[in-house]
Structure 1
Amino acid sequence: MRGNIFHNLRNAWIATFFALLFSLAVAASQHHVRDTALTTCRPASFVPSENDTSVPRRFGFLLYRATDPLDFLGPSEVLFTLGRLAHVDFYYIVAESFVIVSTELVPPATKAYNSTIWTSVAPTHTYDDPPIDLDALVVPGGPGARAPSNVTLDLCGTRPNLKYFVNVYTGTVIAAEAGLLDGRRATTNRAAWLTATAAGPSTTWVGDEKWVVDGNVWTSSGVAAGIDAMVTFIARFWGEQLIARTLQLMADIPTRSTALCHVAERDLQVAINSIAIH
């Protein structure tokens, strides 16, 4: 008897919790859409064909020493999960060589506790041999973004064929130094606000948004906000059905639905129920 009561109370708490998150997400979704050219998602019934060239499929991730891991692994996870439902390619790019890239911070001041917490990534391409026909370049942040190399700046500033730039956290420092944010609205991490905004004096910096879209440039604020920005990006171009299924596979509580312009409530509720049940 006690077991049944506990089970029912637990299920009721879970349902209430997710309902609250969903209501907050719906309310917040009215606040985050900033770019008038991208205020609507695809129709609810839209599912892109394999030959649809209007859908971004090829993503590059710029890597460098002392990148924050979640800045690239978070958006990568969204694309990885989407890739289980549709064709997607993504690549890890470094400017200098094929040397393994570490997220290890530069000593001595940043290694005061001698922790071994670093992630290492094998790049797939270099600046001299970049992927062909990338649709979007994701620029992560981290301590290393505050002293980007000339080659890194060149990579960001001389890619006229790129359709979109997605900047995460202090990746906006690199984008600003490269001139990508000149005359645009953008956001960045509040903890590094002075450093980041100083890199883009002609940028209109927005401090109260998790992400901002201006034309083909997307910027996000905190580290985890890169996930929100990528979910936003996918929702805008890939449609409601695929992003709802992606969120469900990720078991991601749809607070991320703040990123969606008009994702069907029914589809998101199905995702919420699935998470609660399992």
Structure 2
Amino acid sequence: MTLSIGFFVYPNHQTLDLAGPMSAFGLAGRVGETSPYELHVFSEQGGRLENSVGVEITTRALNECSVDTLIVVGGGQPEKLPDSSFEAVKQAAYRARRVASVCTGAFILAGAGLLSGRRATTHWRGALRLQQSYPDIHVEADRIYVRDGHIWTSAGTSAGIDLALAMIEEDCGHDISQAVARELVVYYRRPGGQSQFSTLSDLEPDSDGTRLVLDYIRRHLDASLTVDVLSSVACQSPRQFTRIFKRETGETPARAVERLRAEAARWRVEQTLKPVETIACLVGFNDPERMRRAFLRCFGQTPQALRRIASDHRHP
């Protein structure tokens, strides 16, 4: 049986949000005996429109869309699309068995009312905005992709490929999905629960207290970084601090500490020859097993595996 995959695009949509997943689904036919998918591109009105790099593509009108899987791609400020676009997506989604978004495409699903009361994710830069704009969505900012029932959402551009691989595995089995990953030369297969990389590095929190805390954590990775310690740095009560910190960063204090320690450790693992045990102590994990578990959550790889990959890149 052939499944139809429809991609919803709009002016200035992100090119790779479309091309990445589309390539994965297209390759599923090349590596298998038969082609399991038919691929279509839709926009609200149909016709030709430009993507984020000014390349025109031809689309069909969304009201013609009757597909097994509808995938909404991301782009710059998709929440500013006209109301008619959200309604068109909503109606097309009702006709589909499975609905998904790539990157900021989650804002379109949210605007169409399709994520209400559901778990979802998006690119880490937009995660807080999505949560603040739609408080009834359970935004999981540190996930590569999230599946809640028949609705899937994914993080940044490359996460759209992870989402497509997961769908291909569900539809066609492990072997086909793994073969597609090999053709694309991507990891098979980053789990949906793996954290997005480096979401805290570029955060600019609203309050001075949270900025001070993030800076304090970075400078005292090997110290005890309990909620009591961090709340005193922010000059807030522990309860008030935890609430404000989660609102402004999308993370609990404990998860933020783990993430920043893991990011600091990764650089040392990849760029130095220090023993993993020594690095674990330097960044505050103390126990290398704790650091290994944190690496798996944050990067989907153990410290030893990342060191081998970095070494291979330096010495091909």
**TM-score scaled by structure 2?**
0.56
Paired residue for 1:113? Answer: none
Query: Do the aligned partners of 2:78 and 2:105 also contact (CA within 8 Å) in 1?
Result: yes
Other structure's SS at 1:212 match: strand
Q: For each residue in 1:86-120, what CA deviation from the matched residue of structure 2 results, as whole angstroms up to 9, or x when unmatched?
A: 2310111011231x21124xxxxxxxxxxxx4332
Q: Deviations over 1:119-151 (max 9, x none)?
A: 32111x1023x133x111000111041312222
Aligned length: 189
8 Å contact 1:96–1:151 — kept in the other structure? no
CA distance in 1, matches of 2:27, 2:192: 17
Structure with greater contact order relative to length (CA < 8 Å, sep ≥ 6): 1
Bigger Cα Rg: 2
* Conserved 8 A contact 1:64-1:144: no
Q: Does 1:146 align with 2:83?
A: no
Cα deviation digits, residues 13-63 of structure 1 (max 9, x gap) = xxxxxxxxxxxxxxxxxxxxxxxxxxxxxxxxxxxxx3xxxxx71110001
Specify whether residues 87 and 233 from structure 1 end up closer, same or farther in structure 2 by C-alpha distance, changes over 3 A only.
closer
Structure 1 counterpart of 2:61: 126
Q: Distance in 2 between matches of 1:169 and 1:257?
A: 16
Q: 1:36 corresponds to which residue? A: none
Cα distance in 1 for partners of 2:77, 2:127 equals 16
Give the AA of the match of 2:46.
Answer: S
What's the offset of the Cα at 1:155? 1.9
Alignment of 1:156 with 2:104, yes or no, is: no
1:60 matched to 2:6? The reply is yes
Unaligned runs of 5+ in 2: 194-316
Q: What letter corresponds to residue 41 of structure 2 in structure 1?
A: Y
Q: Which amino acid aligns with 1:121?
A: I
For 1:211-222, list aligned pairs within 5 A: 211-222=145-156
Q: Percent identity?
A: 24
Distance 1:209 1:61 in 2: 22
Q: How does 1:40-59 map to 2 (within 5 A)?
A: 50=1, 57-59=3-5
Task: Establish whether residue 97 from structure 1 lines up as the match of residue 46 from structure 2.
Answer: yes
Runs of 4+ in structure 1 displaced over 4 angstroms?
none
Match of 2:176 in 1: 242
Instruction: Name stretches of at least 5 consecutive residues in structure 1 with no aligned partner.
Output: 1-49, 51-55, 105-116, 261-278
Give distance in 2, aligned partners of 1:171 and 1:225.
12
- Pair 1:207 & 2:141 matched: yes
Query: Does the Cα contact within 8 Å between 1:62 and 1:92 map onto a contact in 2?
Result: yes
AA aligned to 2:58 is A
Select the residue among 54, 66, 69 that pairs with 2:15. 69
Matched, 1:81 2:27: yes
Alpha carbons 1:62, 1:138 under 8 Å: kept: yes
Query: Which one-letter code corresponds to 1:143 in the other structure?
Result: G
Give 1:255 shift. 4.5
Question: Which residue of structure 2 lines up, in the alignment, with residue 275 of structure 1?
Answer: none
| 8 Å CA contact 1:176, 1:199 repeated in 2 | no
Query: What is the distance in 1 between the residues matched to 2:4 and 2:192?
Result: 21
Separation in 2 of the partners of 1:138 and 1:93?
Answer: 10
Residue aligning to 1:27: none
1:83 alignment partner, SS class: helix
**Contact 1:235–1:259 at 8 Å: present in 2 too?**
no
Q: How does 1:149-228 map to 2 (within 5 A)?
A: 149-159=82-92, 160-228=94-162
Question: Please, what is the CA RMSD of the aligned residues?
Answer: 1.9
One-letter amino acid of the counterpart of residue 73, structure 1: A
2:311 alignment partner in structure 1: none
Per the alignment, do residues 178 and 81 of structure 1 end up closer, same or farther by CA in structure 2, a change over 3 Å counting?
same
1:149-188: CA deviation from partner (whole Å, max 9, x where unpaired): 2222012212322111111101000000111000100111
Q: In structure 2, what is the equivalent of residue 233 of structure 1? A: 167
Question: Take 1:137 and 1:91, find their aligned partners in 2: how far apart are those partners?
Answer: 10
Distance 2:18 2:116 in 1: 24
* Bigger helix fraction: 2
Matching of residues 103-114 of structure 1 within 5 Å: 103-104=51-52
